[in-house]
Amino acid sequence: DFENALLEIEPAFGMPKEHFERCLFGGFYIFSERMEHLVKAGNLFCEQVRTSERTNLFSVLIQGQPGTGKTALASKMAVESDFPFVRMISPEEYVGFSEASKCNAIAKVFDDAHKSPLSCIVIDNIERLIEFAPIGPRFSNTILQTLLVLIKQVPPKGRRLLILATCSMPEIMESLDVRSAFHSVLSTSYLQHEEIVQLLKGHIEDATPAKLYASEQQRQSNRQRRRLFLQ
Amino acid sequence: DFENALLEIEPAFGMPKEHFERCLFGGFYIFSERMEHLVKAGNLFCEQVRTSERTNLFSVLIQGQPGTGKTALASKMAVESDFPFVRMISPEEYVGFSEASKCNAIAKVFDDAHKSPLSCIVIDNIERLIEFAPIGPRFSNTILQTLLVLIKQVPPKGRRLLILATCSMPEIMESLDVRSAFHSVLSTSYLQHEEIVQLLKGHIEDATPAKLYASEQQRQSNRQRRRLFLQ
Amino acid sequence: DFENALLEIEPAFGMPKEHFERCLFGGFYIFSERMEHLVKAGNLFCEQVRTSERTNLFSVLIQGQPGTGKTALASKMAVESDFPFVRMISPEEYVGFSEASKCNAIAKVFDDAHKSPLSCIVIDNIERLIEFAPIGPRFSNTILQTLLVLIKQVPPKGRRLLILATCSMPEIMESLDVRSAFHSVLSTSYLQHEEIVQLLKGHIEDATPAKLYASEQQRQSNRQRRRLFLQ
Amino acid sequence: DFENALLEIEPAFGMPKEHFERCLFGGFYIFSERMEHLVKAGNLFCEQVRTSERTNLFSVLIQGQPGTGKTALASKMAVESDFPFVRMISPEEYVGFSEASKCNAIAKVFDDAHKSPLSCIVIDNIERLIEFAPIGPRFSNTILQTLLVLIKQVPPKGRRLLILATCSMPEIMESLDVRSAFHSVLSTSYLQHEEIVQLLKGHIEDATPAKLYASEQQRQSNRQRRRLFLQ
Amino acid sequence: DFENALLEIEPAFGMPKEHFERCLFGGFYIFSERMEHLVKAGNLFCEQVRTSERTNLFSVLIQGQPGTGKTALASKMAVESDFPFVRMISPEEYVGFSEASKCNAIAKVFDDAHKSPLSCIVIDNIERLIEFAPIGPRFSNTILQTLLVLIKQVPPKGRRLLILATCSMPEIMESLDVRSAFHSVLSTSYLQHEEIVQLLKGHIEDATPAKLYASEQQRQSNRQRRRLFLQ
Amino acid sequence: DFENALLEIEPAFGMPKEHFERCLFGGFYIFSERMEHLVKAGNLFCEQVRTSERTNLFSVLIQGQPGTGKTALASKMAVESDFPFVRMISPEEYVGFSEASKCNAIAKVFDDAHKSPLSCIVIDNIERLIEFAPIGPRFSNTILQTLLVLIKQVPPKGRRLLILATCSMPEIMESLDVRSAFHSVLSTSYLQHEEIVQLLKGHIEDATPAKLYASEQQRQSNRQRRRLFLQ
Ligand SMILES: Nc1ncnc2c1ncn2[C@@H]1O[C@H](COP(=O)(O)OP(=O)(O)OP(=O)(O)O)[C@@H](O)[C@H]1O
Ligand SMILES: Nc1ncnc2c1ncn2[C@@H]1O[C@H](COP(=O)(O)OP(=O)(O)OP(=O)(O)O)[C@@H](O)[C@H]1O
Ligand SMILES: Nc1ncnc2c1ncn2[C@@H]1O[C@H](COP(=O)(O)OP(=O)(O)OP(=O)(O)O)[C@@H](O)[C@H]1O
Ligand SMILES: Nc1ncnc2c1ncn2[C@@H]1O[C@H](COP(=O)(O)OP(=O)(O)OP(=O)(O)O)[C@@H](O)[C@H]1O
Ligand SMILES: Nc1ncnc2c1ncn2[C@@H]1O[C@H](COP(=O)(O)OP(=O)(O)OP(=O)(O)O)[C@@H](O)[C@H]1O
Ligand SMILES: Nc1ncnc2c1ncn2[C@@H]1O[C@H](COP(=O)(O)OP(=O)(O)OP(=O)(O)O)[C@@H](O)[C@H]1O
Ligand SMILES: [Mg+2]
Ligand SMILES: [Mg+2]
Ligand SMILES: [Mg+2]
Ligand SMILES: [Mg+2]
Ligand SMILES: [Mg+2]
Ligand SMILES: [Mg+2]
């Protein structure tokens, strides 16, 4: 029956680490100084979760317009964290789920994370997860509330958790008071023409050399590619 | 069946005292005169519940922006009350619950409290418990009504109850007439720049020495910390 | 089954007389001339129900801001009426009830009252009973309609009923046309500064001595209190 | 012409110190511990403005229900500050003024204050000054903006300013974002029944003796009053 | 020109004492116990204004359905106060006035009152004065604000003022926060059938004899009329 | 006439450099790593305007909650830019102005800036400049449109302009599409408890020494302060 079926699929919830590679398929380039800052901030956050004496939870909202690399950035941070438990909560997994099943599935990912000493959860595309439609506006309040609670839930003693969430509607996140649930916010954006010119002229390379952050297992093979390497 | 299952888990509702320690994980510091006043007010309220001849119920709303230490302050007050029955009603416990089950679980905590001579209930994050979303706005009226009734319910003779509730949306609490259900309101806030400078210059230390309230298990190791004294 | 179970617990609905004592726990003082008038009006209403040749129903709405003593006043009136059947309909009894069960439980209290020659029903906190929330606004229309009908229902011949209802949102009662369902309205209010000064100066004591109405079990011990006299 | 006429009456804007005495006509009593705390906080703020090395501006919002003594408290603080420049901006001065004239008159009071080394401005009844009506709601945005700007305007070097504002609609102040313009908020409230009983029993007198702050001209004759002491 | 014209008619604003007689044309009867209480309360308020040591202002809102005698009651109170300055602010005076002229005219009445040691102002029919229309709803906010300010304005030292206002839309007064501007509220209502029967049976006469309050100059001639006398 | 009068006072619009010192009255401290990043970003932007070959305009929106140091940061950036033309457009200058005069005055500052080779304009408190009130919401669209146009207006050849704007309502800026008018966004925020603990423990001092940026006239006297170093 349904109850049993649910129990069986539950362990599968949350996209595993392999999924992240797919989001980084084309490699991850550092096109601008701003992006370099984002990557550095990401590393800092991982470090903070790993070592802080005072808190075992850190949550980051990555916001920016569609296609500006939010999912890529989150994936990169998750992969490079090298945390033993890494999962992505992605709307594509929950197509056709009822509100209640979605909430249970999402909560399951957090429960699993709380069993690992060091975990990283990526919540991709919050506005899709809460089924937001601008006309109305409409959204699933049940899922929203579940997310807000889980994001703030402190892991049990000895467990540490980094939460990375992406969204492309910052003003909706403000209005729904989602933003204030996060410890930090990173903003991605399109390259300005000036930055592209800098990039083309090689200025970026000189000033702050464009670097490649490959996930660990691919790093060696990528060494020879010129200036911008594929993952 | 469901009814039986529910009965069995009910006794587990309400985070027990150990949970509070988690909310005080990093210790509790007194950074400013205002915070010292809050702590003193808290002690006063505990005393009032313990000794008042005329009332056996006292309820306090702790409000302030996210991260200003509302849960920490409530936890500290609850732990230091040394009341035999101390429970936290926290939204994270009720993820995936129906409205009715949530209400029952919350009422159960109050029922249990009414069986102890001296009890303290922390209702953490009211706006999450009532599933408030600013767009609409939407919220669970059933849970709101349940809370409003329980907060005002006078304990039976010989029982005394202190209620501490936290929320970060004061204007919503006003609009929903939640605020007037409480006997007193405490407001937490961020440190102003002036206060930080005072703190750095050691002025706070002179006037009212910055004190450290560590949770029980950390108290010993904290003894040596510079400029921060054990309570 | 559920229906039977419900029938069995029904006789328990409505807080019995002992409950009123709890609402008068700290004694009942007369702080001002206005409060003395309220108490006198209350006595008058009791008398009217007991003796009127023309009507066997009288209903009073007691309104005032939170904590101004509405429940205390209603309890005092009910206790001092000395009517054989005295019940309080209080929202705390119905936590977790469905709308329909609440309506049934409330109607049961009236049915019971109609079996006694002289009854007094206190309907405490109408806005909580109808689950009113100012945002929306939302409320249970089913419960509202039930109350409006019951309040106006004339008891069978030979039965007499006094209804005392309390509410703290007069403008809502107006808007919902609840107010016009009552024969009379009493308004409680906070003491004005001028009245407190009068009280302190002993002027109230001279003009109309401040009296103390203690609940039965406390009456003896209160005899010696200074400047506050037993009724 | 109008311009000239305006210039001539401008110096008269802002109720002078004598006006405050009228608001303290009946003397100022300390009825409860909470009120004593308010008065102490007031003294602290005065001291802070007088001596702070880092800021020459401090603004306090005094909120509470009608008749809870907001104007009295602000007047007392202003009078006891002993600052050379003390003015009240009160809606009754501006009856029949156009929006623009009102703004000019209010700005004039601040300009004058900026010419004195130590000033205190009381802005009485913000919701009346901005002509707020709950239905609509309606208000003068021009006057609101003017107030918000003036309240935050830092006085010139060597000038120090304490701003005390009163309002009785806290939820409106939140909604209009007025509250966040102030450095601190004080809340007045009605006495609870418990406090009145304490007062009558003389408990307040023992713990913190009920004091009387009479306005200057009444001080002598008040000396003999029972249980109420001159400050 | 307009300015001069205005100055000339200003002294005429406010219906003088003679006008009140018109509102009492048919005499003033006491039909019920409740009305007797209203009249007694009225006398008490007059006495309070005349003699209070602590306040020189008292304001009463008389509310009730159309035709329940609000204007009659206010007129009676005003006439029997025997205060040297008695004026009625009545909407019929201001037909065709602009908002600004209306405000000026109303303020003029208060200014004049402040020049007499003992004054009584009747503000008749507030909802008409503020030009309230339920659809919209619409009303003159300028006039509303002016009234709210004037009603709360404390008279200068040595001057005493009683304000009596009538309105027949209590819920609007609540919504516009007009009610809280008054110190006290009196409610008039239609006679219930029971009261009429009591009256006819002469019960009222026995219990509390129906009294006649004639205006001073008519008192003598009215002496002989039986039980209910014409004015 | 009016036009001429306006021209004559116009040269005074825009607070001159001295005004910035007032906003830095108490010195400028670096309390956290995040603040250090903000200051570095600021320096970078100044450098970019001074040297960019491709653009002579750069605009930065500094957003954050009230009192988080937006004006202080902008002032510091402006003062340290050492640009020959530095002006602040501040709402306090325009109290009592009509919409049109305000727009003219603001445009004048930009016109003046366009005459200097290197200019920096601080637009302080955008929501106040556009007279934003959350209820309605209301704002001056005329001023908003003026600002949006001026912010994007490219200076004439050979002129370079840095625009720094502050606001404390990011979601409003989003909704009004103001944010997208800027090249970059900096966010200030309150210190988190963790950061304060780091600061107290001296961790910040070790990692990135807490520095003090005093305004010119205070620099000397500040040399000796403990643990806070001059820039
Ligand atoms: N730094 C980068 N280097 C190389 N490719 C990138 C980088 N960032 C993003 N991309 C590519 O750009 C595309 C869009 O990126 P991504 O899906 O991460 O954006 P997004 O902000 O998550 O978009 P959406 O809002 O649609 O989810 C992807 O193909 C991704 O691989
Ligand atoms: N006085 C304090 N001393 C030391 N750390 C504190 C203090 N107050 C709060 N903290 C820490 O700051 C962080 C935020 O505090 P807390 O969770 O209590 O805030 P909150 O107001 O409840 O926030 P939210 O609105 O998100 O629930 C926690 O890590 C907590 O341990
Ligand atoms: N006349 C009185 N003398 C002494 N104590 C009183 C009196 N009236 C009320 N109290 C006490 O004040 C407190 C509040 O009174 P009560 O609960 O009756 O107010 P309420 O108006 O019903 O409030 P709510 O709106 O919260 O229901 C109670 O502790 C009550 O015992
Ligand atoms: N502490 C006090 N001691 C004595 N009398 C007081 C005290 N506080 C207020 N009063 C008196 O109570 C009355 C109401 O006070 P006040 O006008 O200050 O209240 P308020 O909160 O400003 O009211 P409003 O909202 O109507 O402006 C006044 O007559 C005032 O003199
Ligand atoms: N106590 C009374 N004795 C005799 N006549 C009365 C009494 N009260 C009112 N009336 C008469 O009843 C009529 C209506 O009274 P009045 O105009 O005072 O009512 P109102 O409440 O002011 O009505 P409205 O809302 O229309 O202004 C008048 O003719 C008045 O003289
Ligand atoms: N880095 C800092 N070091 C020392 N003092 C600071 C610092 N930043 C701000 N301050 C001080 O804190 C107070 C508030 O700062 P500021 O006015 O710049 O904040 P703001 O964000 O502009 O506030 P608002 O939203 O009210 O305009 C000021 O007194 C300012 O001098
Ligand atoms: Mg994506
Ligand atoms: Mg919390
Ligand atoms: Mg009650
Ligand atoms: Mg006032
Ligand atoms: Mg009338
Ligand atoms: Mg600022």
Structural contact between residues C109 and C13, judged by C-beta atoms closer than 8 angstroms: yes
pLDDT tens, position by position, D30-58:
888 888 889 999 999 999 899 887 779 99
Do chains C and F meet with 3 or more Cβ pairs nearer than 8 Å? no
Tens of pLDDT, residue by residue over F19-42, are 888 888 778 888 888 888 899 889
C-alpha F21: how far from chain center? 13
Which has more confidence, C223 or B164? B164
Residue F1 confidence (pLDDT):
53
Compute the mean pLDDT over every residue in chain B, rounded to the nearest whole number. 81
Query: How many whole angstroms separate alpha carbon C207 and alpha carbon C195?
Result: 13
Full strand arrangement of the beta sheet holding C118-123: C85-89, C118-123, C160-167, C57-63, C184-187
Which of chain B's residues have a Cβ under 8 Å away from the Cβ of F67? Answer: 190, 192-193
Residue D161: pLDDT band (50, 70, 90) is: very high
Q: Does A175 touch chain F (CB under 8 A)?
A: yes
Delimit the domains of chain E by residue range: 2-220
C-alpha distances (whole Å) from D129 to each of D90, D109, F140 are: 7, 14, 20
Chain C neighbors of E193, CB-CB under 8 A: 54
Gap between the Cα atoms of E41 and E28, Å rounded: 16
Report the C-alpha gap between F79 and F162 in whole angstroms: 12
3-state class of F210 per DSSP?
coil
Task: Give the one of D190, D225, D228 whose C-beta lies nearest to C190's C-beta.
Answer: D190
For chain B, say whether F69 makes contact (Cβ under 8 Å). Answer: yes
- Residue D134, preceding peptide bond in cis (omega within 30° of 0): no
pLDDT at D9: 41
Q: Which residue of C has its CA nearest to B137?
A: C135
Cα B208 to Cα B31, C76, D53, E18, F227, distances in angstroms: 10, 48, 19, 69, 20
Backbone angles phi, psi at F229, to 5 degrees: -105, 150
Task: Say how many Å lie between the CA of residue E74 and the centre of ligand 11.
Answer: 9
Collapsing DSSP states into helix, strand and coil, what is residue B138? strand
Name which of C52, C185, C192 is nearest E187 (Cβ-Cβ).
C185
Q: Do chains E and D touch (3 or more CB pairs under 8 A)?
A: yes
**With an 8 Å Cβ cutoff, is E194 touching chain C?**
yes
Residues of B in contact with F192 (CB under 8 A): 67
H-helix or E-strand spanning residue B58: strand B57-63
Query: What share of chain B has pLDDT > 90, as a percent?
Result: 52
pLDDT, greater one: D211 or C169: C169
User: Does ligand 6 have an atom closer than 6 angstroms to the CB of B54?
Assistant: no
Residue B167, strand partner residues: B63
Instruction: Give the CA count within 13 Å in the CB-facing half-sphere of A93.
Output: 23
DSSP result, A47-89? HHHHH-SS-SEEEEEEE-STTSSHHHHHHHHHHHHT-SEEEEE
Q: How far is CA B134 from the centre of its chain?
A: 23
D24: which chain E residues are within 8 Å (Cβ-Cβ)? Answer: none
Q: Which residues pair with B212 in a beta bridge?
A: B29, B230
Rounding to the nearest 10 degrees, give the CA dihedral for residues B165, B170, B172, B175. 100
Ligand 5 atom with the smallest distance to the CA of E72 is 18
| Upper half-sphere CA count for residue D227 (Cβ side, 13 Å) | 16
The pairing of beta strand F211-213 with beta strand F28-29: antiparallel
Nearest-angstrom CA–CA distance, B176 and B170: 10
Whether B114 and B159 have beta carbons less than 8 Å apart is answered as yes
Contact call for D134 and E177, based on CB within 8 A: yes
Q: How far is the CA of B117 from the centre of ligand 8 (A)?
A: 27
Share of chain C above pLDDT 90, in %: 50
Q: Which residues, at least 6 apart from D81, have a Cβ–Cβ distance to it below 8 Å?
A: D46, D118, D120, D162
User: Options 1.25.40.10, 3.90.1150.10, 1.10.3110.10, 3.40.50.300; which CATH number does E2-220 get?
Assistant: 3.40.50.300
Structure tokens at D12: 């008269």
* HSE-up (13 A, CA, CB side) for residue F17: 14
* pLDDT score of C210: 34
Neighbours of ion ligand 12 (CB under 5 A): F 70-71
Burial B195-230, CB ≥16 within 10 A → b, else e? bbbbbbeeebbeeeebbbbbbeeeeeeeeebeebee
D168 touches chain E (CB under 8 A): yes
Residues A159, A171: contact at Cβ < 8 Å? no
The answer, for D65 touching chain C at a CB cutoff of 8 Å, is yes
Query: pLDDT per residue over B146-205, tens digit each?
Result: 999 999 998 988 899 999 999 999 889 988 999 999 999 999 989 888 788 777 776 544
Q: What is the pLDDT of residues F132-168, one digit of tens each?
A: 999 989 999 999 999 999 999 999 999 999 999 999 9
Pocket probe for ligand 6: among F70, F166, F199, F213, the residue whose CB has the most ligand atoms within 8 Å is F70
pLDDT 10s digit of each residue in chain A, 231 long? 555 544 444 345 778 888 888 888 778 888 887 888 899 889 989 998 998 877 799 999 999 988 899 999 999 999 999 999 999 999 988 888 889 999 999 999 999 999 999 999 999 999 999 999 888 889 999 999 999 999 999 999 889 999 999 999 888 888 898 998 999 999 898 876 667 766 776 654 433 333 333 333 333 333 332 223 222
Tell me which DSSP letter residue C216 carries. G
User: Can you tell me whether residue B229 is helix, strand or coil?
Assistant: strand
- Protein residue with its CA nearest to atom 14 in ligand 3: C67
Q: CA torsion angle for F131, F137, F138, F143 (degrees, to 10)? A: 60
- Flag whether residue B17 sits within 8 Å of chain D, measured between CB atoms: no
**E strand spans, C37-191:** 57-63, 85-89, 118-123, 160-167, 184-187
Angle at A151 between CA A148 and CA A154, to 5 degrees: 125
pLDDT (tens digit per residue) in C114-138? 999 999 999 999 999 999 999 989 9
CA distance F113 to chain D (A): 24
Q: At what angle do helices C70-81 and C33-51 cross, to 10 degrees?
A: 40
Supply F2's token pair. Answer: 């009016």
Rounded to a whole number of angstroms, the CA Rg of chain A reads 18
**Is any ligand 1 atom within 6 A of the Cβ of residue A27?**
yes
Q: Would the CB atoms of A175 and B91 count as touching at under 8 Å?
A: no
Alpha carbon distance B204, B31 (integer Å): 8
Tell me whether residue A66 is exposed, middle or buried, using C-beta atoms within 10 angstroms of its C-beta: 0 to 12, 13 to 18, 19 or more: exposed
Distance in angstroms between the alpha carbons of the first and the last residue of chain D? 50
Q: What is the pLDDT of residues C174-217, one digit of tens each?
A: 888 898 899 888 999 898 887 887 777 765 443 333 333 333 33
Which top CATH class is C2-191? alpha beta
Describe chain D by its helix, strand, coil percentages, rounded to 5. 50, 15, 35
Choose among D201, D230, D193, D199: nearest CA to D215: D230
Phi/psi at B22 (5° precision): -60, -35
Nearest to E62 by CA among E169, E143, E159: E169
**Which one of E142, E148, E175 has the shortest CB-CB distance to D128?**
E148
Helix (H) or strand (E) holding B167: strand B160-167
Cα D117 to ligand 4 centre (Å): 30
Which pLDDT value is given to residue D25?
76
Instruction: Quickly count: other Cβ atoms within 10 Å of residue B97's Cβ.
Output: 17
**Amino acid letter, F207:** A
Q: Is F69 in the pocket of ligand 6 (CB under 6 A)?
A: yes
Return the DSSP state at B162. Answer: E
CA dist list (Å): A14 to A46, A147, F166, F209: 20, 14, 41, 42
Ligand 2 pocket, mutate which of B71, B126, B132, B169 (most atoms under 8 A from CB): B71
Beta-strand (E) ranges in A75-229? 85-89, 118-123, 160-167, 184-187
Q: Chains D, A in contact: 3+ Cβ pairs under 8 A?
A: no
Residues D60 and D185 sit within 8 Å (Cβ to Cβ): yes
Give me the pLDDT at residue C4, please.
52
| pLDDT score recorded for residue E217 | 34
CB-based contacts of C138: which residues, under 8 Å, 6+ apart?
A: B141, C131, C132
Is F204 within 8 Å of F210 (Cβ atoms)? yes
Closest Cα of chain D to B123: distance in Å?
22
Residues E221 and E210: their CA atoms lie apart, in Å, by 18
* CA-proximal residue: ligand 4, atom 14 (nearest): D67
Residues of chain E with pLDDT under 50: 2, 5-11, 204-231
More confident residue, A48 or D126: D126
| pLDDT tops 90 at residue D144 | yes
Distance CA D142, CA F96 (A): 8
Q: Give how far E225 is from chain C: nearest CA, Å.
A: 31
Question: What confidence tier does C170 reach under pLDDT thresholds 50, 70, 90?
Answer: confident
Question: What value does the mean pLDDT take over residues D209-230?
Answer: 31
Residue type, D169: M
Shortest Cα distance, chain C CAs vs residue B95, angstroms? 18
What is the pLDDT averaged over residues D194-220? 50
CB E85 within 8 A of CB E202: no
Nearest CA in chain B to A130: B133
User: Is there an atom of ligand 5 within 6 Å of E136 CB?
Assistant: no
Q: What is the mean pLDDT of chain D?
A: 81
Q: How many CB atoms lie within 10 A of CB A172?
A: 21
At F100, which amino acid appears? A
Rounded to an integer, what distance in angstroms lies between the CA atom of residue C207 and that of residue C6? 54
What pLDDT score does F203 carry?
52
Angle, in degrees to the nearest 10, between helices E141-152 and E99-113: 10
Cis peptide before C137 (omega within 30 of 0): yes
Three-state SS at F54: coil
pLDDT at res. C213: 36
Residue A130: how many other CB atoms lie within 10 Å = 25
